């Protein structure tokens, strides 16, 4: 059965009834360009040194095996303005970072049916920079691509000479700027996919959005930041596709 025709997981419920997935053909906005196209009102990233201090305050050194001194030294290595500091997923996997997310006092979580979240890896064509810490520049939440499916969005992102964010990079962005996550404008991180034993890609594509507290999420998690997934062939009016202009090593 084609992926687009598969029933949507309960973990992929829209963030509000008015924002349900649309069966209509997607709009035709311009694909992301070299300059981020997200609304100007999105929070700006702080300087790299401040980002390092934020990670230290969250306890990332203890969770990743990096020392606070190593994080500070990496942040002092220099990077373009607006760059995001990312700890390698080899040291800080998604399952470790997701509970550090917070939005309006609600703690982040991974959906119950994604116990294999740390097995998702960068897709073909994405090579993460070597080293324990690297930067991502030219971030875009992907609002111009709302109501496209992941299968439709990836070619457009690549054609614009951009790269889709991985799950870890999306979480790193929200750790620094929680306000980037908006109830009706959340985003997918299709730079991460799970490859099955037979070599084929799992049909789930990861996303970051805000829980409604329904189903297995539970009422206590209402309005919490959530790591979940949607089918690769499904469209959602409330999910964009986060991307970046480049990834760069820190020396």
The domain spans of the chain are: 44-249
180 burial (CB, 10 Å; 0-12 / 13-18 / 19+) is buried
Residue 242's pLDDT band, with cuts at 50, 70 and 90, is very high
pLDDT at 78 (0 to 100): 74
Residue 40's pLDDT band, with cuts at 50, 70 and 90, is low
Total-model pTM: 0.85
Measured between alpha carbons, how far is 234 from 212 in angstroms, rounded to an integer?
Answer: 20
DSSP characters over 36-101 = --S-TTSPPPPPHHHHHHHHHHHTHHHHHS--HHHHHHHHTT---TT-EEEE-TTTS-HHHHGGG-
Please choose, from the candidates 240, 242, 245, 84, the residue with its C-alpha nearest in 3D space to the C-alpha of residue 162: 245
Residue 67 Cα distances to 52, 70, 86, angstroms = 11, 5, 15
Measured between alpha carbons, how far is 102 from 82 in angstroms, rounded to an integer?
Answer: 22
């Amino acid at each position: 059965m084609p992926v687009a025709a598969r029933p949507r997981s309960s973990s992929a419920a829209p963030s509000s009834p008015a924002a349900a997935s649309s069966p209509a053909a997607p709009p035709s906005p311009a694909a992301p360009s070299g300059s981020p196209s997200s609304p100007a009102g999105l929070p700006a990233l702080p300087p790299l040194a401040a980002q390092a201090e934020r990670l230290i305050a969250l306890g990332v050194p203890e969770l990743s095996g990096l020392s606070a001194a190593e994080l500070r030294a990496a942040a002092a290595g220099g990077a373009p303005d607006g760059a995001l500091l990312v700890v390698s997923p080899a040291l800080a996997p998604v399952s470790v970072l997701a509970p550090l997310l917070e939005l309006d006092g609600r703690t982040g979580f991974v959906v119950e049916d994604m116990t294999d979240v740390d097995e998702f890896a960068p897709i073909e064509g994405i090579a993460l920079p070597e080293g324990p810490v690297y930067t991502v520049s030219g971030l875009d939440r992907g609002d111009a691509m709302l109501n496209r499916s992941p299968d439709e969005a990836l070619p457009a992102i690549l054609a614009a000479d951009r790269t889709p964010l991985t799950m870890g990079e999306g979480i790193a962005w929200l750790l620094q700027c929680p306000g980037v996550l908006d109830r009706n404008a959340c985003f997918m991180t299709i730079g991460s996919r799970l490859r099955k034993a037979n070599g084929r890609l799992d049909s789930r594509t990861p996303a970051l959005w805000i829980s409604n507290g329904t189903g297995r999420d539970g009422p206590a998690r209402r309005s919490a930041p959530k790591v979940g997934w949607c089918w690769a062939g499904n469209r959602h009016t409330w999910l964009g596709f986060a991307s970046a202009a480049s990834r760069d090593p820190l020396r």
